[in-house]
Structure 1
Amino acid sequence: MNTTTTRRKFILSTAALATTSFMSSSTRAADEPLLIRCSLDTAPSHGRNKAFQDYLAKLEAQSGGRIKTKLYESGQLFKDLEVAKAMLQNQVEMACPGSWVITGIVPDADAFQLPVLYGRTADEVHKIFDNEAGKLINAKIAEKLRGQVLGPWIDLGYENWYSTKTPLTSLDSVKGLKVRNSGGPGQAWRAKFVGAIPNTTAWPSVPLSLSQGVFDTLVSTNESLVTAQLWDAGVKYAYEDHQFFAMYIPMISTTFWSKLTPDLQKLVTGIWAENIPTYRAHMAEAQTKARTTLEAHNIKFVDPSAEQLAADRKRMMPEQESLAKELKLSPDVVKLINAGFPSA
């Protein structure tokens, strides 16, 4: 065997070995499950967390081992106020922030604060945001947050006023009080509209801030108060005016979404669509049960009548056009929402 033949065989065997090694490495990579890190800043007992505990478990099981999930709760990974930026930077694959915390990037997410939606029922709000208005906002989330919305948004529930020292009997009761909200200029506007002083504090910091007097009133939901046991922080009064119906927006990063095969993409959205009616029902039940719990801890509720809600909505409506401009809402989303309430 001459030198040339020996060299040729060596080159061929080396190439074959490299190809085998590459194929083996590629196969191992293909076999490795894709990891979804999901960030929530509420406690494991919260309704949103329970929904995602169920959803992620089902996703992992039905993916046949191709997807693994890790749920980070209580702000372990990111607070909701930070998760939109984390999504943009591909630091997390999945999140479900409240619409109010992404308004700095997607202004139309603050549309819930429009006066026309004040005091509306859950069904009325679902009718708006499960359809064209919601689709418009989803498209802007995909563009600006690089997030693929999983499907219909999950309810948090009715946001109301709660106070530590001042009895709340009407909107005017909060005049002059420092009011914590969860974020977004729309909530700040409502506080200022009734003569209150707005304050934005991340939810994990609320109990301590409330007990220390950083604010004396807050905008939140019955369930959220129960999960944080805010009676221990001094909450004694509630005015349940359903000032807006809060919803969380479930999303997965577009970068991660693009790694999924078409059948896995269908699975991710399909499981959510199949279960969202149950998740919403559970959230509504939790809010009803939470009120009973709050009353058992001596929190006094006042419920305005439908006539009072309509009268207060009417007070706010003259400012809707200027508010929409202040919130930088697109004319299209405002038009779609107004169309749902032609007699407003």
Structure 2
Amino acid sequence: MAQRFSRRSFVLASIAATAAPAFIRSARADEPIRLRCSLDTAPSHLRNVSIKDYLGKVEAASGGKIKAELFESGQLYPDLEVGKALIQGQVEMAAPGSWTITGIVSDADCFQLPVLYGQPIELIHRVIDGKPGQYLNGQIQQKLRSHVIGPYLDLGFQNWYSANKPVASLDDLKGMKIRNSGGAGQAWRARFLGAIPNTTAWPNVPLALSQGTFDGLVSSNESLVSAKLWDSGVKFALEDHQFTAEYIPLLSQAFWDKLPPDLQKMMTDIWAQNIPAYRANMAAAQTKARATLEEHGVKFTDPTPEQSAAARKRMMVEQDQLAKDIKIAPEMVKLIMAEAGSGS
């Protein structure tokens, strides 16, 4: 009797042991897929507003299969480090500025090429939404082990701003010490125009500008308003649209590969459906920011299309050497030239 009971207990225990992994797998299958998104800008920044809207739509459309968490203000990683975090699977999503990943993906510095200087946003979108953008996406997938969700989010055009010296033309930049956000392309442009490039961390810009560490800077209208740089002495602006700063929406490849095809399609479609509105909102914010700067006494000068074309033609003489110096692949240059034309 005891022997029969022992055998029966063994059989039941064996069945339970066999069923346990299946039960655990089933329970895990019911758990939502975690999506952690890292941004280093504040909640009020329109990049954050756009990404938050997107994640909310993804959660709703997934029917609870995806659980999104947005970490803002650099709680997880600054943009300069988020590329490595994506590679290592420490975060599932980010939207870093193209300039912050050039150390890993050098082709992301392509926005500094002279052929794109002063070009209209419609042409920039043709470049980044077309074959050049597809080529860059391939580089990103290979080197950052990340999937590009879709079209990039514009931060906006970058321009020249000055504290004391009027800048009504590019010739006025000669001899000025100009702060930029980093990268060989920006430094090259300053030197080409006779200015002295300076790199100062953005949080230190207001004090450094007010103390005369540099005479002016490369930035955007919206960024100047966010830091109230009129209080630090900015009085003049030359809105030449020298390059467009872009945010690139990325998902770690490990996360992307884990999604079934229907969820992959859903995330792709939602971004594609909303990116036109996100871009329009960003452009409107830059226009509004210019009005705010003008209200605070900043005097703007706008080059004519003919003046921008003439400056672009001058810069184009050095494009091939610049591309080599900042490690832009010849194929990327070729694709951009095909899309943008001669740049004249």
| TM-score, scaled relative to structure 1 | 0.93
Deviation at 1:258, TM superposition (A): 1.7
Q: What is the distance in 1 between the residues matched to 2:333 and 2:176? A: 30
Q: What is the distance in 2 between the residues matched to 1:77 and 1:216? A: 34
Q: What is the distance in 1 between the residues matched to 2:94 and 2:182? A: 17
- Cα deviation, 1:72-102, whole Å, max 9, x if unaligned, reads 2222222222221222222221111111111
Matched, 1:62 2:61: yes
Deviation at 1:180, TM superposition (A): 2.4
Give the conservation status (yes or no) of the 8 Å contact 1:165–1:236.
yes
Q: What is the distance in 1 between the residues matched to 2:71 and 2:209? A: 25
Alignment of 1:276-287 (within 5 A): 276-287=275-286
The structure-2 alpha-carbon separation of the partners of 1:102 and 1:274, relative to structure 1 and needing over 3 Å to count, comes to same
Matched, 1:132 2:131: yes
Q: What is the distance in 2 between the residues matched to 1:329 and 1:270? A: 31
Q: What is the distance in 2 between the residues matched to 1:263 and 1:205? A: 46
Deviation at 1:214, TM superposition (A): 4.3
- Cα deviation, 1:135-160, whole Å, max 9, x if unaligned, reads 00000000000110000111111110
- Structure 2: runs of 5+ lacking an equivalent: none
Give the conservation status (yes or no) of the 8 Å contact 2:173–2:194.
yes
Match of 1:327 in 2: 326
Q: What is the distance in 1 between the residues matched to 2:186 and 2:140? A: 20
Matched, 1:91 2:90: yes
Deviation at 1:203, TM superposition (A): 3.9
Match of 2:154 in 1: 155
- Identity %, equivalent residues: 61
Range moving further from structure 2, 193-202 or 287-296: 193-202
Deviation at 1:208, TM superposition (A): 4.5
- Cα deviation, 1:280-310, whole Å, max 9, x if unaligned, reads 1111111111111111111111111112111
The structure-2 alpha-carbon separation of the partners of 1:29 and 1:215, relative to structure 1 and needing over 3 Å to count, comes to farther
Equivalent pairs counted in the alignment come to 343
Range moving further from structure 2, 298-307 or 163-172: 163-172
- Name the amino acid aligned to 1:337: I
Range moving further from structure 2, 317-326 or 28-37: 28-37
Q: Considering only aligned residues, what root-mean-square deviation do their CA atoms show, in Å?
A: 1.9
The structure-2 alpha-carbon separation of the partners of 1:16 and 1:198, relative to structure 1 and needing over 3 Å to count, comes to farther
Give the conservation status (yes or no) of the 8 Å contact 1:42–1:204.
no
- Name the amino acid aligned to 1:17: A
Q: What is the distance in 2 between the residues matched to 1:75 and 1:214? A: 27
The structure-2 alpha-carbon separation of the partners of 1:232 and 1:250, relative to structure 1 and needing over 3 Å to count, comes to same
Range moving further from structure 2, 225-234 or 198-207: 198-207
Deviation at 1:48, TM superposition (A): 1.3
- Name the amino acid aligned to 1:37: R
- Structure 1: runs of 5+ lacking an equivalent: none
Q: Secondary structure at the match of 2:90?
A: coil
Match of 1:24 in 2: 23
Match of 1:339 in 2: 338
Match of 1:293 in 2: 292
Match of 2:74 in 1: 75
The structure-2 alpha-carbon separation of the partners of 1:292 and 1:105, relative to structure 1 and needing over 3 Å to count, comes to same
Q: Secondary structure at the match of 1:258?
A: helix
- Name the amino acid aligned to 2:23: S
Match of 1:182 in 2: 181
Match of 2:50 in 1: 51
Give the conservation status (yes or no) of the 8 Å contact 1:179–1:217.
yes
| TM-score, scaled relative to structure 2 | 0.93
